[in-house]
């Protein structure tokens, strides 16, 4: 990886534990992302995913290590890094327009009211909320609230969009539509995005790179999975793609068993050089170890050959 | 035949009121001239003995007197005979002034306490000790230091309304949802702008609840304070009419104190609704 737009360098998070010891949530975490990439972190609860995101956002500080964005170590929060919160976090006393305009006027403090309003309106239109500008959050459905959250994050034209399980509180249909919107917007604008999710299918649909974290405490980044599906994938026929199940099974296998046993079984795991896998390709293997996968056949896919 | 709950409740209210007035009227009606009493003694006893009139005024007496007061609320016949409107205006003025000063002190201080754990912990023992003191206990100290009875009454109103507002403001400010603060932080909103655009609106319902409790306490306390300091005000009026043995006027004053207290509470309740937004 040559272009390190985001580079997380050896961060750890420790809390003082009971009896004078320290509890390590995760440690020695290194990962990087290129400009315009969409990264997803998957891991069980308690592995520190949200803490990683909060550190990236600047809302939290790592106990060790640093985060470098666009060549500069981050220090605190920044308008360059927008956050879409799990619970949307809209200000209930402001209207839809007011919520977005609050972000816009925070970024461009010298703009006059009309300019702020026009800019905010553009992003409200982008997320498909035209006509609801003057409603308050309590009058919106869960999906619409999260759309406002997305519009608010996008309106400040951030370098990175950080999303903490943004759709986990939504019903499946709404979630699907919003995933489509996010993917469309990210592709259209070349937005770099970093997202935390529990939903494997969401990660497969949205992410270019999926970061697999082992269970906490003492969680580490186990593996980076490159999404082998084409860029122009659609949510509807995603599961028909020949690589889909290979990818999905790989992630599920990790979550079900390897996330627990990883620490005990992985030998020579180098946190600075985490293996990258690309399930479904003929040379399926963990790049750094050249260990063949245990799964040898996939539905709808001929057995991968290692001799091509 | 079913009426709406509101209508049925209103009917019950009216029936209860009518029953109360009826019982009151029956209990205080004339029982006829007292017999078996020497005429000399009966004269000393006044109307109670000569016409059998109850010592307690009936609803009709109170109603007639109330009408008299309502027709001339603002007359002023010297220090001991002022219209009820004037007396109430004095009381409301004192409450308003003491309360306003309390707002100006309690809300900024509450913000500070709510935002700074250090200040919160440091001030906590003082607040805990000062809060349960009956406001009237301050009265002698206030009279001694301020040397003005009217200002002392205002001080007593200030001291009794400051605590609920202070504690509620601190509680509301400290309890603002972390996500809203985080929204402001990720948008690089400065401390002052954050206080006004996120914390104040988020804490406003709690702050106004504190203000509503305070105005209620202030109105309770002003009556007692004015009985002590005298001169003007509805509390003084009650005590003065008690010295005049005009129970009718005392009852009217009690009624008006209740109505004004209710109005003050309703005004604050309306403000609270104005700043409360469901999520």
Every domain of chain B and the residues it spans? 95-275
**CA–CA separation, B86 and B76 (whole Å):** 8
Q: How confident is the model at residue B234 (pLDDT cuts 50, 70, 90)?
A: very high
Using a CB-CB cut-off of 8 Å, the residues of chain A touching B187 are 77, 79, 102-103, 106-107, 156
Helix (H/G/I), strand (E/B), else coil: A290: coil
CB-CB under 8 Å, B278 with A89: no
Phi, psi of A135 (to 5 degrees): -85, 155
Q: Report the residue from A58, A89, A136 with minimal CB separation from B277.
A: A136
**CA–CA separation, B69 and B85 (whole Å):** 8
Judge whether residue A140 has pLDDT over 80.
yes
ipTM value = 0.82
Question: How many CA atoms lie less than 13 Å away from A190 in the CB half-sphere?
Answer: 3
- CB of A136 within 8 Å of a chain B CB? The answer is yes
pLDDT digit string, tens, across residues A231-272: 888 888 888 888 888 899 899 989 988 888 887 776 778 888
DSSP letters along chain B, please?
----HHHHHHHHHHHHHHHHHHHHHHHHS------SS-HHHHHHHTHHHHT---SSPPHHHHHHHHHHHHHSTT-B-STT-B-HHHHHHHHHHHHHHHHHHHHHHHHHHHHHHHH-HHHHHHHHHHHHHHTTS-GGGGHHHHHHHH--HHHHHHHHHHHHHHHHHHHHHHHHHHTS-HHHHHHHHHTT--HHHHIIIIIHHHHHHHHHHHHHHHHHHHHHHHHHHHHHH-SSSHHHHHHHHHHTT-HHHHHHHHHHHHHHHHHHHHHHHHHHHHH----
Judge whether residue A298 has pLDDT over 60.
no
Q: How confident is the model at residue A307 (pLDDT cuts 50, 70, 90)?
A: very low
pLDDT digit string, tens, across residues A28-77: 889 899 999 999 999 888 888 889 999 999 999 999 899 999 888 998 89
Using a CB-CB cut-off of 8 Å, the residues of chain A touching B204 are 93
* C-alpha gyration radius of chain B: 25
Q: Calculate the average pLDDT of chain A.
A: 85
Q: Report the residue from A57, A107, A138 with minimal CB separation from B278.
A: A138
> What is the nearest CA distance from A258 to chain B, expressed in angstroms?
33
CB-CB under 8 Å, A107 with B186: no
Under CATH, which number does the domain B95-275 receive? Answer: 1.10.3720.10
CB-CB under 8 Å, B198 with A91: yes
- CB of A89 within 8 Å of a chain B CB? The answer is yes
Q: Report the residue from A78, A102, A138 with minimal CB separation from B277.
A: A138
Q: Which of A92, A135, A160 to mutate to test the interface with B (most CBs of B within 10 A)?
A: A92
> What is the nearest CA distance from B109 to chain A, expressed in angstroms?
24
> What is the nearest CA distance from A162 to chain B, expressed in angstroms?
11
Query: If you average pLDDT over residues B52-80, what whole number do you get?
Result: 88
Helices (H), A156-219: 172-189, 200-206
> What is the nearest CA distance from B193 to chain A, expressed in angstroms?
10
- B residues 39..68 contacting A (CB < 8 A): none
Burial class (CB in 10 A: 0-12, 13-18, 19+), B5: exposed
Contact A206, A223 (CB under 8 A): no
Q: Report the residue from B182, B197, B278 with minimal CB separation from A89.
A: B182
């Amino acid at each position: 990886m040559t272009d390190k737009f985001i580079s997380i360098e050896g961060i750890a998070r420790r809390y003082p534990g009971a009896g004078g010891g320290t509890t390590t949530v995760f440690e020695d975490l290194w990962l990087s992302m290129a400009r315009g990439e969409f990264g997803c972190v998957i891991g069980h609860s308690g592995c520190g995913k949200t803490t990683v995101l909060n550190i990236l956002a600047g809302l939290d500080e790592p106990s060790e290590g640093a985060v470098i964005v666009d060549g500069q170590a981050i220090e605190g929060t920044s308008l360059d890094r927008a956050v879409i919160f799990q619970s949307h976090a809209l200000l209930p006393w402001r209207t839809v327009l007011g919520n977005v305009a609050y972000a816009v006027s925070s970024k461009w403090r010298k703009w006059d009211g009309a300019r702020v309003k026009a800019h905010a309106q553009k992003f409200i239109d982008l997320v498909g909320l035209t006509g609801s500008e003057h409603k308050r959050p309590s009058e919106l459905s869960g999906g619409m609230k999260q759309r406002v959250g997305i519009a608010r994050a996008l309106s400040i034209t951030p370098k990175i969009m950080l999303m903490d399980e943004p759709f986990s509180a939504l019903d499946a249909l709404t979630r699907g539509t919003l995933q489509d919107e996010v993917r469309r917007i990210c592709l259209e604008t070349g937005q770099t995005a970093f997202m935390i999710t529990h939903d494997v299918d969401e990660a497969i649909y949205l992410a270019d790179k999926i970061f697999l974290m082992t269970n906490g405490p003492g969680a580490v980044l186990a593996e980076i999975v490159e999404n082998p599906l084409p860029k122009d994938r659609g949510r509807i026929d995603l599961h028909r793609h020949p690589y889909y199940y290979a990818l999905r099974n790989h992630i599920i296998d990790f979550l079900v068993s390897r996330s627990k046993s990883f620490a005990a079984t992985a030998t020579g795991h180098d946190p600075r050089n985490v293996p990258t896998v690309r399930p479904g390709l003929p040379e399926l293997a963990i790049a750094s170890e050249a260990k063949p996968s245990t799964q040898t056949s996939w539905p709808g896919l001929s057995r991968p050959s290692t001799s091509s | 035949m079913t009426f709406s709950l509101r209508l049925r409740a209103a009917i019950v209210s009216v029936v209860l009121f009518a029953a109360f007035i009826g019982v009151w009227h029956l209990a205080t009606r004339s029982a006829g001239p007292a017999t078996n009493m020497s005429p000399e003694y009966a004269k000393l006893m006044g109307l109670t003995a000569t016409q059998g009139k109850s010592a307690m005024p009936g609803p009709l007496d109170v109603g007639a007197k109330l009408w008299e007061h309502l027709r001339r609320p603002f007359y002023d016949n010297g220090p001991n005979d002022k219209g009820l409107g004037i007396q109430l205006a004095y009381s409301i003025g004192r409450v308003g002034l003491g309360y306003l000063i309390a707002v100006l002190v309690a809300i900024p201080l509450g913000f500070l306490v709510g935002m700074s754990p250090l200040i919160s912990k440091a001030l906590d023992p003082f607040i805990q000790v000062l809060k349960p003191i009956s406001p009237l206990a301050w009265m002698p100290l206030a009279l001694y230091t301020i040397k003005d009875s009217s200002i002392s009454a205002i001080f007593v109103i200030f001291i009794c309304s400051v605590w609920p507002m202070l504690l509620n403001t601190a509680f509301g400010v400290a309890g603002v949802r972390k996500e809203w603060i985080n929204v402001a932080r990720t948008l690089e909103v400065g401390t002052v702008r954050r206080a006004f655009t996120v914390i104040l609106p988020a804490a406003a319902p709690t702050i106004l609840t504190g203000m509503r409790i305070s105005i209620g306490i202030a109105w309770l306390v002003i009556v007692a304070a004015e009985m002590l300091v005298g001169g003007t005000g509805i509390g003084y009026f009650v005590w003065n009419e008690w010295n005049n043995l005009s129970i009718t006027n005392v009852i009217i004053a009690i009624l008006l104190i209740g109505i004004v207290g209710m109005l003050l509470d309703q005004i604050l309740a309306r403000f609270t609704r104005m700043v409360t937004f469901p999520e």
